[in-house]
Amino acid sequence: MITVVQVLDKSFEEFITRDEIQTEVESLAEQINNDFIGKEVVFIAVLNGSFMFASDLMKSISIESEISFIKMSSYSGTSTTGTVNKLIGLNNDLTGKSVIIVEDIIDTGITIDEIMALLTMEGAKEVKVCSLLYKPTAFKGTYKPDYIGFSISNAFVVGYGLDYNEKGRNLDSIFKIKESKT
Ligand code: IMP
Ligand code: MG
């Protein structure tokens, strides 16, 4: 029996279970522990979507590290500058540090490209991306994630931090939209 949930006007069916997520998150943490041992590491989790993933990932990180939470905020600049993106919440000095961006999902890759552009101005020694989910067929960005939990098809997903119109973030596994039979 596949568990089905309703979020607002859409039905979703269970896609990645809590156990599958847990196993994968522990494996990602182990790879990071091995790759970054002895480095000065700062995890930067992108809110809102990554809050649950970041929390579980950090429980299995054993290397000395810092974590900070950021948000991307877009605001309208002058007519000549158009929309300007800004990072809010970053108060760590990244000079010479190894930065690991923690994302919930990379879809087109546009968001991560913008975050990368803003973070490279902070003087980090290296910036890597760890994303729980990745949609390879939707991706048209520059920065393919270095650490990927699950590569998935283009279907819309919710749960484990991911939202559908801000709802469904609390679900403890990942659900995929049910194709409507019309
Ligand atoms: P990108 O800029 O296209 O890579 O999109 C990244 C953002 O879009 C993610 O951080 C999510 O907030 C949102 N997003 C993309 N795909 C999904 C999805 O399937 N479910 C929920 N949010 C998504
Ligand atoms: Mg996001």
Please compute the mean of the pLDDT values over residues 80-104 and round it to a whole number.
Answer: 88
* Per-residue model confidence (pLDDT) at position 1: 87
pLDDT at 91: 87
Q: Under a CB-based contact definition with an 8 Å cutoff, are residues 105 and 157 in contact?
A: yes
Domain at 4-177, CATH from 3.40.50.2020, 3.40.50.170, 2.60.34.10, 3.40.50.880 = 3.40.50.2020
Q: Please tell me the distance from the alpha carbon of residue 123 to that of residue 92, in angstroms, as a whole number.
A: 11
Overall average pLDDT of the 12-34 stretch: 98
Q: Domain residue spans in the chain?
A: 4-177
Strands of the sheet with 10-16, listed across from one edge: 4-7, 10-16, 174-177, 157-158
pLDDT tens digits, residue range 25-43? 999 999 999 999 999 999 9
**Ligand 1 in reach of 105 Cβ (< 6 A):** yes
User: Is the pLDDT higher at 40 or at 118?
Assistant: 40
**Catalytic positions, please?**
107
> What is the overall mean pLDDT for the chain?
93
Burial of residue 32, with CB atoms counted within 10 A of its CB: 0-12 exposed, 13-18 middle, 19 or more buried: buried
Higher-confidence position of 168 and 90: 168
Atom of ligand 1 nearest to the CA of 49: 12
Q: How confident is the model at residue 79 (pLDDT cuts 50, 70, 90)?
A: low
Confirm or reject: Cβ of 107 under 6 Å from ligand 1: yes
For the residues 44-56, what does the mean pLDDT come to? 97
Residue 180 has pLDDT above 90, yes or no: no
Between the CA of 38 and the centroid of ligand 1 the distance, in Å, is 33
pLDDT above 70 coverage of the chain, percent: 95
User: Taking 60 as the threshold, does the pLDDT of residue 182 lie above it?
Assistant: no
